[in-house]
Amino acid sequence: MFEQVFDIDATASEAELRDLVTRCERLKAAAAAAQARATAAWAAQRRAAEDAAGVPARKRGRGLASEIALARLDAPVCGNQHLGFANALVHEMPHTLAALEAGVLTEYRATLIVKQSACLTLEDRRALDAELCADQQALAGLGNKRIEAAAAAITARLDAAAVVERKNRAAQSAGVWTRCAPNGMVYLTALMPLSHGIGVYATLKRDADTTADGRPRGQVMTDTLYERVTARPADTPSPIALNLVLADTTLFGEDDAPGYVQGYGPVPAVVVRDLVSDAVADEAAKATLRRLYRHPSSGQLVAMESKARLFPKGLAAFIGLRDQTCRTPYCNAPIRHHDHATPARDGGKTSGCNGLGACQQCNLAKEAPGWQVATTDTDGRHTATYRTPTGATYHSTAPPLPGPTRRHSAIEGRLSIDIVELKWTA
């Protein structure tokens, strides 16, 4: 039956194919509604079980959001959003849920409605739900922006004070992020209060409008931003105050394997060589080198170990460079904690094999009852296995370090590992 629903006849007419696309979209919406119902029921069962077990109220539900995110193949940080969305739809917004089940709303549009109503009381949220979604025919043809605007307008009318308070609290979510861009570039994103953001942009725009040195307008704005923040001229080499990882063969031009910049990602060989050469040529810049040993087959770092309970600085740096981001499956968050997979209290070693890079949320989640994490290091492949309280198992393997791909014999590989392990134990 499942195969028949999604079977595609290549000889079908355009109208039949259109109907299939429409049917699939409605199925996705209905599946999202079923997923919300299942999530809310899961949360209710967990609460009842923890209540019966006498778990303190402040500890109930710990780790559940991460389980939900993993079940959806999503980053654990998104788990609270999925859980909140499900509880709101099932327990507070029946008309929105019904519109989603019927395929009148997409999951994203239903999410927009839930977000806009988040600051309302239960009574007002139900009033918004009825006003906006009780008549499903009125939702036909409304796009994302119109749905969001309609929900925002009703929210403001029902409780203007709550909307103002939500905007005041939003300042606490201010932050700055980076993400990769093509051709050795990076997107720098800042979320800040409206007046601050407009003020920064207006200043950069004014400087660009009054500069006539031949540089493109966008370059003037980015150069000005860099100079104001770092207090360094944009046309001078930057000090490499970052972890730039590359093979020595790449550094000396023997191959063109890409390098890796922590917090950014892969970088072409020519770009990383330019970064290093610029920093070395600049006397004011301080570039330091650290030798790292990668496994000859997997390309991963060879392990280190310490007798201390806390991870020493060098071992913590080793784990950070090996894992690059939080090791929980699907989580891309920066590493905040260097954690024992098997806790030290249970005899877990302070070692590279037993060490994991983790974000704060994932580190707290794995401490909840029922979570188990184990690590293995086989043939240079460091693998972490996560087992959730409901019995699901997920795996995470550390990424390989930059460097050329070369074949090694078994004897060469074993000899390389033995030499490195001898160095760390000497």
Q: What is the side-by-side order of every strand in the sheet holding 244-245?
A: 244-245, 259-261, 265-267
**Residue 421 confidence (pLDDT) above 60:** no
Q: b/e per residue, 187-216, with b = 16+ CB within 10 A?
A: eeeeeeeeeeeeeeeeebeebbeeeeeeee
List pLDDT tens digits, range 249-302. 777 777 777 777 766 677 777 777 777 776 666 666 555 656 665 665 666 655
From first CA to last CA, the distance across the chain in angstroms is 64
Say yes or no: 123 and 182 in one domain.
Answer: no
List pLDDT tens digits, range 375-384. 998 877 889 9
**Residue 31 confidence (pLDDT) above 70:** yes
Say yes or no: 148 and 184 in one domain.
Answer: no
Give the domain range for residue 193: 174-235
CB 269 within 8 A of CB 246: yes
List pLDDT tens digits, range 124-150. 999 999 999 999 999 999 999 999 999
Say yes or no: 39 and 143 in one domain.
Answer: yes
Say yes or no: 358 and 393 in one domain.
Answer: yes
Say yes or no: 336 and 368 in one domain.
Answer: yes
Say yes or no: 407 and 329 in one domain.
Answer: yes
Say yes or no: 178 and 166 in one domain.
Answer: no
Q: Which of 263, 289, 315 is the last residue of a domain?
A: 289
**Is 300 a domain residue?**
no
Q: Give me the percent of the chain exceeding a pLDDT of 90.
A: 41
List pLDDT tens digits, range 201-251. 999 999 888 888 888 989 999 999 988 888 888 877 665 555 667 777 777
CB 114 within 8 A of CB 147: no
Say yes or no: 54 and 123 in one domain.
Answer: yes
Q: Which of 116, 141, 171 is the last residue of a domain?
A: 171
**Tokens representing residue 361 in the block:** 């949320």
Closest CA to 221 of 235, 206, 240: 206
Give the model's pLDDT for residue 144.
94
Say yes or no: 419 and 333 in one domain.
Answer: yes
List pLDDT tens digits, range 322-368. 888 899 999 988 898 998 998 888 888 888 889 999 998 898 888 88
Q: Which of 152, 171, 190 is the last residue of a domain?
A: 171
Say yes or no: 220 and 279 in one domain.
Answer: no
**Is 132 a domain residue?**
yes
Say yes or no: 165 and 27 in one domain.
Answer: yes
What is the number of alpha carbons within 13 Å of residue 157 lying toward its C-beta? Answer: 10
Say yes or no: 284 and 364 in one domain.
Answer: no
Q: b/e per residue, 126-148, with b = 16+ CB within 10 A?
A: bbbbebbbeeeeebeebeeeebb
- pLDDT top residue among 9 and 31: 31
Tally of domains in the chain:
4
